[in-house]
Structure formats: C-alpha cells, structure tokens
Amino acid sequence: MSASLRRFGRWVSLASKREFSNFSCIEKGAEGSWKSLNLYSAINQALHIAMESDPRALMLAFPVPLGRLAERFGKNRVFNTPLCEQGIVGFGIGLAAMGNRAIAEIQFADYIYPAFDQIVNEAAKFRYRSGNQFNCLTIRAPYGAVGHGGHYHSQSPEAFFCHVPGIKVVIPRSPRQAKGLLLSCIRDPNPVVFFEPKWLYRLAVEEVPEDDYMLPLSDAEVLREGSDITLVGWGAQLSIMEQACLDAEKANKQVSKLSTQKFLVGTWVWTIGTRKHRKDGISCELIDLRTLIPWDKDTVEASVKKTGRLLISHEAPVTGGFGAEISASIVERCFLRPAMDMAQFLASCNMMSAESNFPLTCNGHGSVFGILQHDLEAPITRICGLDTPFPLVFEPFYMPTKNKILDAIKSTVGY
C-alpha cells in the first residue's frame, strides 16, 4: 500500500446515496502497520485497545454483542446489562467515580433519553458539584439516518447534550477518526457522549493504523481548503458536504459574486460593492468540527474570516440544532471587526486630510480602504433536517441532501 494511499484512505461507496472521497487524516503517533477497516471494526479495535491498555477499563451495554471482547477480557469487565438506559449510565457513573474507565453503550441514540437525567444532572455535574473530586464516563451511541430507520432509529440528538456544561460531545466521520477520537474520549476524565454515524459502520472503509493512537478533542480539522465559502459539519453529514464541495467546484461558472467593503463615514457606514462574474467554480473550505462541545471556534472563525461565508449542515432538525450555536458565535466574532487598529490604519495612510471627517484613504496601490470591514459577506446558511420527527418514507425529503447544500452554496456565494 503506497504511503499516499495510506494517508488519504479509501472510501467505499455502495449502493447508498452517501458517497465518499479522500478525506485526509491526522496520523499522530501511528507508525506501525495499517489495515483497511470499516468504521465498525475501527471502533471495535479502539475498544480492544482501551480495554487492554487499562486494566480498570470496563464496558457495559444492552445488549452487547460481546463476542470476542467478552472472551478476551472476561465477563467481569465486558458485560451485558438489563434493558435500562438510566441503569446503564448510572451504573457507569458509579464505576467511573470509583476510578474505573467506564465505557457505556446505548443501543441507539434514540434510546438515550431514559438516561437523560443521569447524563445531564449527574454525569455532567459530578466534577463541578464536588469541587473536582470525581471523574466520569464515556457513553457511546449510534446516531443518525440509515435509510429506513423512521422515528426511532434515525435521530441525531447531539444538540441536547451540547446545551449541558460539563459534557463533551464527539462525533467521528470515518474509521480512522473514530478510532483515534474514541480512544481520546475514553481516556478523557470528563463525561463524553460519543455518537457514532451508524450509516457508515460498514460503508466507510479506510486505512487505519493498528497502533494505539489518539486524536485531539476540541480540535476541528480542515478537510479541504477553499477561499469562497466555509462549510462546517460533523459525522456522516461530512461525506454529503464533501460531494457538494466537489460539485460546486466543477459546476459553477455563471454565479456572480458580490464583493463588498464597508466604510465608516462620520457616523454612517457605507457599503461599496462590486459584482464580479466568476469564471471558475466555487472554492469551498470544509471543516469537520469533530468535537461539538467544547468546540474549536478559532478554526471556524479563521476560516470564515478568510472566505467570508459560512454554511453549516447537520441532520438534526434545524431549529435549536447545534448549527444555530455555531452561527450565533460566528456572527459575534465575524460580523464586524476593525480591519486594523487605528494606529495601523493611520500609518497605512499616505494621504490624510486633517480637517476631514472622512477617514477615507488610498493605499499605495490605489485601492480604497475603510476602517471597518465585513468578514461575513453573506448571511450564514444552515442546511439541516426539517423541524419534524424523522419520517420514514419521507427520509429523502427530510435529509440535508447534497443538492440542497449545493444550491445553498451557490446562492450564498452569489449573495
């Protein structure tokens, strides 16, 4: 296997409408051999490593298809529980508080709600209410659409947990990511909810280092660089967004782009715009947030400052989804900012009228400059699930599809 193939991994796309391309990956600390694995096996490998590397690691779930894990580590450490999600999480919290590394699994993210109290009122607040005397557990749950899951085998409940200080929420997009992130989550002393994109369990195949390696939490990854628009997503949705990026790059010849600049004139802000007709496609920057909370605002901010546009996409219903939080934060950081501080501004002026109220100037190259500049050149767009329960036969309508994203990219860039 050539080094480059290893680096970029291999995505296998089956009959599904989910398609994948070559996402690059971080390979920190992974020197040994690599193996082509699907997401499910990669997670399995992470669990084996977590159990092996820490004798105090324990796994519990209903119903755990224990198989080799139980055989290898014994039924004392890998066990099936009664059918009770609040029990699974509460028990896991108890284990973790006693210094064990508890790895709890909920069969589907849709069934995490009976454990909501244990997660929100207990796991999340154990450290804070005790003055940092206790550590907490990792909760895994498969989430998201799968083609025919209907109401209760399709949900993406991440936003509920992102509203809870004390919890981390992590969602991997690929086998290699899943393994490295899961190991980080398990070894993180804080309670982490790790949502696994179940649609990709078998569909996503990638070269994965066999070694024990961890990927950093709260660290977004720029998957592809671009200059016209930033796309932010996580988990399974990234593969859809990637397709939209590729299409946007190819397709768009006729979209016109308006570049604007703002000028402070006395107490007035003036906007001067020029409409440029693009000849080439749209260059998209795609970011995998990976950790939703606490999230890597800086990476997103830096990207939006570069591209001037932001699109967020997730499967969960748009209203109150985590996209709303990203959108609000980026508006706070990027709506208006001084293009430069006043000293810098004055220094850059080579012509200045002392009497004039118009702090307008030309730089040496003759272009117009203002003291305030728009980072966001278009409204932030969210392409997400509908505000309905997840509807079985309407799944293709509910989903934030590639073409919905593509159209939004075009209209945002052409705003």
Partner 1 sequence: MAIWLLARSRTIIQRLPKMMPCFGVLYHSSSSFHYSASPSSSFLMSHGPRRLTSGTTPFFFFFSRPESTKAHTQLEQLYTSEDDDDQAIDFPGGKVAYTCEMRFISESAEKRVPCYRVLDDNGELVSHSNHVQVSKEMGVKMYTNMVTLQIMDSVFYELQRQGRISFYVTSMGEEAVNIASAAALSAHDVILPQYREPGVLLWRGFTLEDFANQLMGNKADFGKGRQMPIHYGSNSLNYFTVSSPIATQLPQAAGVAYSLKMDAKNACAVTYFGDGSTSEGDFHAALNFAAVMEAPVIFFCRNNGWAISTPVQEQFRSDGIVVKGQGYGIRGIRVDGNDALAVYSAVHTAREMAITESRPILIEALTYRAGHHSTSDDSTKYRPIHEIEYWKMTRNPVNRFKKWVEKNGWWEDKDEVELRSSVKKQLLEAIRVAEKTEKPSVEEIFNDVYDQLPSNLEEQERLLRQAIHNHPEDYPSDVPSRRHFPPISVPEEYAEDIFSVSSNCSPSANGWRERDSY
Ligand X SMILES: Cc1ncc(C[n+]2csc(CCOP(=O)(O)OP(=O)(O)O)c2C)c(N)n1
Binding site for ligand X (CB under 6 A): 83, 85, 107, 111, 114
Which is nearer to ligand X, 82 or 366 (by Cβ)?
82
Q: Give burial (CB, 10 Å; 0-12/13-18/19+) of 81.
A: middle
Q: Whole-angstrom Cα distance, residue 351 to residue 298?
A: 35
Among residue numbers 134 through 173, which ones bind partner 1 (CB under 8 A)? 146-153
Contact (Cβ atoms closer than 8 angstroms) between residue 137 and residue 109: no
What's the CA gap between 413 and 415, in Å, rounded? 5
What CA–CA distance (Å, rounded) separates 411 from 415? 6
Q: Which stretch binds partner 1 (CB under 8 A): 120-128, 273-281, 346-354, 399-407?
A: 399-407
Pick the binder of partner 1 from 7, 21, 87, 329 (CB under 8 A). Answer: 87
DSSP-derived letter for residue 123 is G
Query: Is residue 414 within the footprint of partner 1 (CB under 8 A)?
Result: no
Choosing among ligand X, partner 1, none, which partner's interface includes residue 329 (Cβ < 5 to 8 Å by kind)?
none
Q: End-to-end CA distance of the chain, in Å?
A: 45
Number of residues binding to partner 1, judged by CB under 8 A: 57
Closest distance between ligand X and the C-beta of residue 204, in Å?
A: 24
Task: Report the b/e string of 52-65 with b at 16+ CB within 10 A.
Answer: eeeeebbbbbbebe
Q: Using CB distances below 5 to 8 A depending on partner kind, what does residue 153 bind out of ligand X, partner 1, none? A: partner 1
Q: Which is nearer to ligand X, 78 or 109 (CB)?
A: 109
Backbone φ and ψ for 244, nearest 5 degrees, come out as: -65, -40
Cβ partners under 8 Å of residue 143, min gap 6: 108, 109, 155, 156, 157, 158, 171, 195, 196, 197, 198, 235
Q: Which is nearer to partner 1, 86 or 260 (CB)?
A: 86
Q: How far is the CB of 319 from ligand X (least distance, A)?
A: 25
Nearer to partner 1, 67 or 338 (CB): 67
Interface positions, 107-126, toward partner 1 (CB under 8 A): 107, 110-111, 113-114
Stretch that binds partner 1, among 77-85, 280-288, 297-305, 351-359 (CB under 8 A): 77-85
Q: Which residues within the stretch 239-298 sit at the binding site for partner 1 (CB under 8 A)?
A: none
- Compare residues 147 and 216 and give the one whose CB is closer to partner 1: 147
Minimum CB–partner distance for residue 79 and partner 1 (Å)? 9
**Token pair for residue 64?**
């755990």
Please say which residue, 30 or 47, places its beta carbon nearer to partner 1: 47
Q: Does 76 bind partner 1 (CB under 8 A)?
A: no
As a whole number of angstroms, the distance between CA 313 and CA 403 comes to 12
Residues in 188-207 that interact with partner 1 by CB under 8 A = 198-199, 201-202
- Residue 319's binding partner among ligand X, partner 1, none (Cβ under 5 to 8 angstroms by kind) is partner 1
Among 7, 13, 69, 251, binds partner 1 (CB under 8 A): 69
338 binds partner 1 (CB under 8 A): no
Q: Is 17 in the site for partner 1 (CB under 8 A)?
A: yes
Report, in Å, the least distance between residue 38 CB and ligand X. Answer: 23
> Which one of the spans 253-261, 293-301, 354-362, 388-396 is the region binding partner 1 (CB under 8 A)?
388-396
Q: How far is the CB of 101 from partner 1 (least distance, A)?
A: 18
| Positive or negative torsion for Cα 325, 330, 335, 337 | positive
Give CA–CA dist 223/209, Å, rounded.
19
- HEC states along 282-331? CCEEEEECCEEECCCHHHHHHHHHHHCCEEEEEEEECCCCHHHHHHHHHH
26-31: list long-range contacts, CB under 8 Å, 24+ apart: 26/180, 26/215, 26/221, 27/176, 27/209, 27/213, 28/180, 28/213, 28/214, 28/215, 28/216, 29/211, 29/212, 29/213, 29/214, 30/209, 30/211, 30/213, 31/209, 31/211
* Smallest distance, ligand X to C-beta of residue 161, A: 17
CA 387, CA 267: separation in Å to the nearest integer?
41
Residue from the set 26, 340, 404, 415 that interacts with partner 1 by CB under 8 A: 404
Among 94, 273, 379, 396, binds partner 1 (CB under 8 A): 396
Residue 259 CA to chain centroid, in angstroms? 28
Q: Residue numbers of the site for partner 1 (CB under 8 A)?
A: 14-17, 40, 44, 47, 62-69, 80, 82-87, 107, 110-111, 113-114, 146-153, 198-199, 201-202, 318-319, 386-389, 391-398, 401, 403-404, 407
